[in-house]
Amino acid sequence: MTMAEIWDVFIHLEGHLLGLNAEYGLWVYGLMFLVVFAETGLIIATALPSDTVLFAVGALVSRGADFSLWGTLLLTILAAFLGDTVNFACGRYLGGHFFARRRIPFLSPQALEKAHQYYELHGGVTIIAARFVPILRGVAPLVGGIVRMEWREFLKYNAIGKIIWTPLYLFGGYFFGQIPWVQQNFNVAIFFALGAPLLGVVARMVYLTVAKGR
């Protein structure tokens, strides 16, 4: 398998799940763990499709595919939790060693102070909500670490976010995957599945912005 083919498997894992499961069996769970972990644990891997993988597994199980729904749930909760924790730990380390020695406009002492104040007030909500926004989920834990969010607070909200996010997509795929329209328009269904939680997050952020301006 060439590097291009391997990359395609990672980026479009949801489309390869059945074939990989048939060929490699239990190893496919290791691949799912790696994708979900790396999406936030490795900041360079934010393009990986953890949402669509969960939704696809749920939908495939609803159609009789040989996947363990509960096994996938526990495995991916752990993978997402560890990924964000590693990202946060990197932020804690980099905040004290890397950015202190470099002048970066959007990470100036003033910007970091504002971020610190924001995380003091809304850090928990940010860690939970960012999990539902692919662009932000790799940034929120990192920034939380940089501005020295408390470990205990981060771990608590990190766990809450994963306990909400993971079953929402996995069981959402399972229940919606039984609908004939979803089966016939799977890509469109995934688009709406990803967009629905995002609308809630956007609404929450707008509310906080308005409330702050009053």
Token pair for 168: 């929402």
pLDDT of residue 173: 82
Q: Cβ–Cβ contacts within 10 Å for residue 169, how many? A: 24
Quick one: pLDDT at residue 182?
Answer: 63
Q: Tokens in use for 77?
A: 């909760």
* 72: region left, alpha or beta (phi > 0 left; psi from -120 to 50 alpha): alpha
Handedness of CA 195, 161, 48, 183 (dihedral sign): negative
Select from 200, 195, 203, 190 the least CA-distant residue to 53. Answer: 190
On whether the CB atoms of residues 17 and 63 are closer than 8 A, the answer is no
Instruction: Select from 205, 203, 44, 32 the least CA-distant residue to 138.
Output: 44
Residue 76's pLDDT is 93
pLDDT 10s digit of each residue in the chain, 214 long?
454 554 454 455 555 676 776 677 788 888 889 889 988 888 777 767 788 888 888 888 887 777 888 999 999 999 999 999 999 999 888 775 665 555 555 566 666 677 777 788 788 888 988 888 777 888 889 889 988 889 999 999 999 999 999 998 889 888 877 777 666 665 665 665 655 555 555 555 554 555 555 5
Q: What is the pLDDT of residue 78?
A: 96
User: According to the model, what pLDDT value does residue 3 have?
Assistant: 44
Residue 105 to residue 115: CA distance in whole angstroms: 14
DSSP string, the chain: --HHHHHHHHHTHHHHHHHHHHHHTTHHHHHHHHHHHHHHHSGGGTTS-HHHHHHHHHHHHHTT-S--HHHHHHHHHHHHHHHHHHHHHHHHHHHHHTGGGS--GGGSHHHHHHHHHHHHHHHHHHHHHHTT-HHHHTTHHHHHHHTT--HHHHHHHHHHHHHHHHHHHHHHHHHHTTSHHHHHSHHHHHHHHHHHHHHHHHHHHHHHHHHHH-
The three-point CA angle 105-111-112 to 5° equals 115
pLDDT confidence of residue 164 = 92
